[in-house]
Amino acid sequence: MVLALLTVPGALLSVENQKEAVAIKKLGPMVEQPWGTEIEVSVSGLVPGRPYRLMTADADGHRVAAGSIEVAERRPVRARLVSAQRRHVITSLLVESRPGEVIAVLAVPYHG
C-alpha cells in the first residue's frame, strides 16, 4: 500500500487502492447550515459496484458520516457531503471503503 501526504492546508492524501489511487478534492467552499455543513467534492479512483462512505473529521479525529456513493464507471464523480459536524471544526474529508478503513483524506484549513 502506497501513502502520499502533503502537509499544506487543502493538500491531498491518497492511499493506493488496488490499481488506482483514490482521491478526494474539494470543489468549493464548505457551506455552514443550521444543521451542519455541506461540501461539494470530486472523488476519483473508485472501483465500480462497491459502496464507499464519505466522512468529515475534526482535529481530535472524531468522524461524522457525510454520505455514501457507489459508481457505475471508473471515472471521477461529483458528490455533496452533508455532515452534522460544524464547518469551524472540520479539518479533513475522508473516503472509507468500509467502516474504519480510510482510503483517501483531504486536509482542509481549520476554521476554529
- Domain tally for the chain? 1
- Which three cell numbers, joined as nine digits, stand for 54? 464519505
Q: What is the pLDDT of residue 94?
A: 98
Which CATH number is 43's domain given?
A: 2.60.40
pLDDT tens, residue order, the chain (112 aa): 333 333 333 444 444 434 679 999 999 999 999 999 999 999 999 999 999 999 999 999 999 999 999 999 999 999 999 999 999 999 999 999 998 899 999 999 866 5
Among 110, 106, 83, CA closest to 10: 106
Is 112 inside any structural domain?
Answer: no
- List the beta strands (DSSP E) in the chain: 3-5, 12-17, 20-26, 31-33, 36-44, 51-58, 63-70, 77-83, 90-98, 101-107
What domain range is 65 assigned to? 3-107
Is 63 inside any structural domain?
Answer: yes
Is 53 inside any structural domain?
Answer: yes
Q: What is the pLDDT of residue 109?
A: 85
Is 46 inside any structural domain?
Answer: yes
Q: Return the amino acid letter for 43.
A: V
Is 44 inside any structural domain?
Answer: yes
Residues in a beta bridge with 93: 56, 106
